[in-house]
Structure 1
Amino acid sequence: MLTYKAVKHGRTFAKVDRTFPSSQVCSACGFRDGHKPLYVQKWTCRECGTVHDRDHNAARNVLFEGRRIVASALKQEAPGRAARPGRNPWTLVQGARQRRPTTECRRRTACGRCGGVSRGRPARRSR
């Protein structure tokens, strides 16, 4: 289901291995601190001294791992593909078509009808 949503919205989906130690690795320095019981919600890195919230740290590590997977996949593709002007390597998905606005959005924000963007950055969707 996530792959379908990524293609629909022109995003990249990278699946991280379920055995990846996301809550055991410090997201600041990369030190692997080892297994922690589930009741431990906050921990301090023994290497750099950063205090981590378990869930926030795991989310950052999964994000970094996903970006690493996408970057390594882009390196394996044909040389120069991501370096072409106007291509964003983070939005490349096989079979996905990026929505282009037919006219510039009057509100200069992302809207569902035209897919326009504000100042080159994707705008956040309001709920």
Structure 2
Amino acid sequence: LALATLSTGDTMTGPKAHTAVLKRLRRLSRSLSRKQKGSSNRNKAKAKLARLHARIANIRQDALHKLTSDLTRRFHTIGIEDLNVRGMMANRHLARSIADMSFHEFRRQLAYKADQRGGQVVVADRWFPSSKMCSVCGSVQKVMPLSTRQWICPDCGVHHDRDVNAARNLAHYAVSSTVSACGEEGAGSGRKTGVKPASVKQEISTEPV
């Protein structure tokens, strides 16, 4: 499971800090459960477990800050998908990996850093068919299970990687939304861009500075 996929085809892996130390985390949790309540050894075990949790949080935050800083530095307009994280967490095969990604924190950091740099984050509605729409001809497939990672458009015959295709659709969505907003607001001051977007499947679509 990738944290984000750019429309350029680049994949951004998440820190996976929890997964990396899962065995140690389980061992310390078992050790704590065996200690007598109120004992000095239990307090030591609790402190050791707390330090590991703090380390996991710090690793995750550090990785997310580096990634979001890089993306907002490189791209002006970033388009992402409003994922149904709660629904995704209901899948027992994906729940731990999704929780380890910190999608909400990733989105939060993107938003405020883009704002600080004069950029913007465009969020596509969760019902936007980013994965099911062909980024070449625009046809939308009725059904596409999560297990389908590669597919061929029956209308134009183009082979798609699911995430890259979705990211490209988000790139188109971000550009069209930005153009519409500019048309409504009229000519005014602000940062102007005349460059193509890249996009991420979280997804992120990004427009280079």
Tell me which interval the TM-score lies in, with the shorter structure as reference length. Answer: 0.5 to 0.7
Secondary structure of 2:123's counterpart equals: coil
Relative CO higher for 1 or 2, CA cutoff 8 Å, sep ≥ 6? 2
Residue 122 of structure 2: aligned partner: 14
Residue 103 of structure 1: aligned partner: none
How is 1:72-111 mapped onto 2 (pairs within 5 angstroms)? 72-78=180-186, 80-81=187-188, 87-89=191-193
After TM superposition, the score normalised by the length of structure 2 is 0.39
- Say what the alpha-carbon RMSD is for the aligned residues: 2.4
In structure 2, do the counterparts of structure 1 residues 63 and 38 end up closer, same or farther at CA, with 3 Å as the change threshold? same
How many residue pairs are counted as aligned between the two chains? 89
Name structure 1 gaps, 5 residues minimum.
Answer: 91-120, 123-127
In structure 2, do the counterparts of structure 1 residues 87 and 7 end up closer, same or farther at CA, with 3 Å as the change threshold? closer
Runs of 4+ aligned structure 1 residues displaced above 2 Å come to none
Name structure 2 gaps, 5 residues minimum.
Answer: 1-107, 195-207
Higher helix share: 2
Per-residue CA deviations over 1:63-122 (Å, capped at 9, x if unaligned) read 1111111111111103x337xxx95157xxxxxxxxxxxxxxxxxxxxxxxxxxxxxx84
* Counterpart check, 1:33 vs 2:141: yes
Q: Which has the larger radius of gyration?
A: 2
After TM superposition, the score normalised by the length of structure 1 is 0.62
Offset, 1:3: 1.9
Distance 1:32 1:61 in 2: 11
